[in-house]
A and B are shown apart, each in its own frame.
Chain A
């Protein structure tokens, strides 16, 4: 049996664990101290996003939202208000006259969730209820594209809002179009796999986590539905901080990515393990923690499981552009120091 740390938490907050199934890197809740167990393991969980919603099978966003909002509710003693950008999450949770939300929830527009959340936070201050906190949430389209101006404004003013971006790398609600979070070479409805340069253009897109860090806000983190414990910990930490906070969660979309529903967690894990999706934390403009890759995986292992990248594997041959994607992963690994000796990630 290996003795390791739970690889995602800073040293002081980590419980020493034994992995009973060698090689799996998974630990059942029953092996974790009670106070470290997932919110979902508690009978007192808030079920913020309760059953009956219309998300697709295997929806990474629904999973991420449930863990993120429940963790935020636990951290605030259920004194939480959610503001939602237009998008899948909004549509599949609130088809009139039904709602899956078990907390006060407001949807205004596609591009203004961060600003609306600012208004809610201001109202809480002026109403003498500063203990009621605000969580804004949206997809990558509502965050990195159309909602970006309001997001940057909220960051810059350091408004007391946690903004959670569920990043599924495209406009899935409208039928899988490209966003500024779509990776290079990915096929979407607006970056079809046609012509000499099929899929999304290399050298485009932006890293909103990096841009958030550049705002110098108190807390920025990336997370993944492949590590829900880490996600919960980051949300909990974010809620212990006042001011603008940003968490971006990699949430695979079976429909948009062209992958089987049961591969959501696998894909999320591979995205991290290949280096394409760096998982890190930053405070006040400085990266403070990086989640090390446990087993470095070639990016082709991640890509080949998704139909949006199928054109890279046509006729049984690897497209030369695979090398460019691998180079991007390698650059991430170097930039963030994603690979290191075992245990160095603490």
Chain B
């Protein structure tokens, strides 16, 4: 059914259709509306046979989900940013135990300085935690990915994170097709756990493992992720056949056929990038886009195929490995490494802490990649004047004070002067 609906509420309705049995809720912006709506659905009885538990922290949220999942229940929770970091130990634990929990991540920056707006730093902080990580481009895909995530997670017995851009998707009201229960039931079978706590068949789960088997346990987790590389396209295809729309898979190509310049990005920014590409195509620039849906597992081969014909690749990402550069760029670089004639890779960090990524800036960035390529990592729309002043000031004064507050003061100065 088509609805004009907020992204969070649409996701909540889609998640409810997956018949979760235990939902752990803890508020953190910008995911909160999702669990709020799920709470309503449980209270109203629309989501039956579901335990909705208001926990005291994100660490508890995922821990409750771990217990529920190990005891055979379909478990769901949602978080963002600091919340993901606060539950970090449990994030690794859930995957180490092989528990198919599905979690929405309302992507948000990580402090300090505290910032509630969107970027992908939170997802990147857990990129090696053993979870499947799928990025949604639109609210429709955000809803659809949850349905696929439950199926994939439970098939492989490993947890899945659906990454949804905070505010840009979670709080945007747009048209979403909400499937009906019968469609979802036909696509997503009931949870049939591979391991379960059962007094009839007592098993110990979570034993201490030493050097004699730890490598093998980790190898098998990695192997399962490679299985997901095969299952993701298959499930996306099944999804298309059943629901009549494209969602999920490993990656999507947009106008890449003859593209000399290919952009790689994840999440909602791909919409703006597509608009930019259309405009540049109209000007005769051979440019295309690869939208990564699967970040973990990282689709090395599919990406290599998609980028093999390009002369330049620009990675636009909303996160930064401080001291290294773009994280997604590093992974893309690994995919290109063994090509006989690899394209030149250009890494750009954009949209940190919710800074808008505009078509105007993207036009400039993409042209610069071919005309005047930069070294290292490019920070899109960096205010170089402010940065320069701060560097100068901290060199001059030992007790230079807190950086973030100083920057804000500098930015406020023109306004003060205008008065």
Chain A residues within 8 Å of B, Cβ to Cβ: 78-81, 83-84, 90-91, 94-99, 101-109, 111-112, 115-127, 132, 149-150, 152-153, 156-157
Contacts and interface: CB of A to CB of B under 8 A. Distances in A.
B209 A96 contact: yes
Interface stretch (B57-65, B122-130, B337-345): B57-65
Given A91-B208, A101-B204, A119 B59 contact: no
A107 B204 CA distance: 8
Among all A-B residue pairs, the 7 with the closest Cβ atoms: A119-B67, A107-B206, A123-B71, A153-B56, A115-B63, A112-B63, A123-B73
A78 B210 CA distance: 31
Nearest to B217: A96
Given A106-B70, A126-B51, A81 B63 contact: no
Contacts of B63: 108-109, 112, 115-116, 118-119, 150
A119 B197 contact: no
Interface of B: 21-22, 24, 49-51, 53-57, 59-60, 63-73, 75, 89-90, 93, 97, 197-199, 201-210, 212-213
Contact of B57 (A79, A153, A157): A153
B67 A108 contact: yes
Nearest to B56: A153
A153 B67 CA distance: 15
Contacts of B90: 108-109, 112
Given A105-B204, A108-B90, A115-B59, A120 B70 contact: yes
Contact of B56 (A116, A121, A122, A150): A150
Given A81-B71, A115-B63, 15 more contacts: A90-B208, A97-B207, A98-B207, A104-B201, A105-B204, A105-B206, A108-B63, A112-B60, A121-B67, A122-B22, A123-B75, A127-B71, A150-B56, A150-B60, A157-B55
Nearest to A104: B197
A83 B67 CA distance: 8
A97 B206 CA distance: 11
A119 B97 contact: no
Given A90-B208, A119-B68, A79 B60 contact: no
B51 A149 contact: no
Contact of B199 (A94, A103, A121, A123): A103
A119 B66 CA distance: 7
Nearest to B92: A109
Nearest to B24: A119
Contacts, number: 164
A46 B64 CA distance: 27
A119 B209 CA distance: 24
Contact of A118 (B59, B64, B204): B64
A95 B207 CA distance: 6
Contacts of B204: 94, 99, 101, 104-107
Contact of A108 (B50, B72, B73, B97): B97
A106 B22 contact: no
A346 B64 CA distance: 40
Nearest to B51: A122
A109 B93 contact: yes
A108 B60 contact: no
B216 to A, nearest CB: 11
A118 B90 CA distance: 15
Nearest to A122: B51
B22 A123 contact: yes
A152 B66 CA distance: 18
Contacts of B198: 104
Given A123-B21, A150-B63, A104 B73 contact: no
A124 B65 CA distance: 13
Given A119-B63, A157-B54, A127 B73 contact: yes
Contacts of A90: 206, 208
A121 B89 CA distance: 22
A120 B56 CA distance: 17
A60 B324 CA distance: 51
Contacts of A127: 21, 71-73
Contacts of A94: 204, 206-208
Given A104-B198, A109-B90, A115 B208 contact: no
Nearest to A98: B207
A107 B207 contact: yes
Contacts of B22: 119, 122-123, 126
A36 B97 CA distance: 41
Given A90-B208, A94-B207, A116-B63, A80 B73 contact: no
A153 B73 CA distance: 21
Given A96-B208, A104-B202, A116 B66 contact: yes
Contacts of B197: 81, 104-106, 120
Nearest to A113: B63
Contacts of A124: 71
B281 to A, nearest CB: 51
B88 to A, nearest CB: 11
A119 B205 contact: no
Contacts of B201: 104
A98 to B, nearest CB: 8
Contacts of B209: 96
B207 A119 contact: no
B71 A119 contact: yes
A150 B67 CA distance: 13
B206 A106 contact: yes
Nearest to A83: B67
B206 A117 contact: no
B379 to A, nearest CB: 37
A102 B203 CA distance: 8
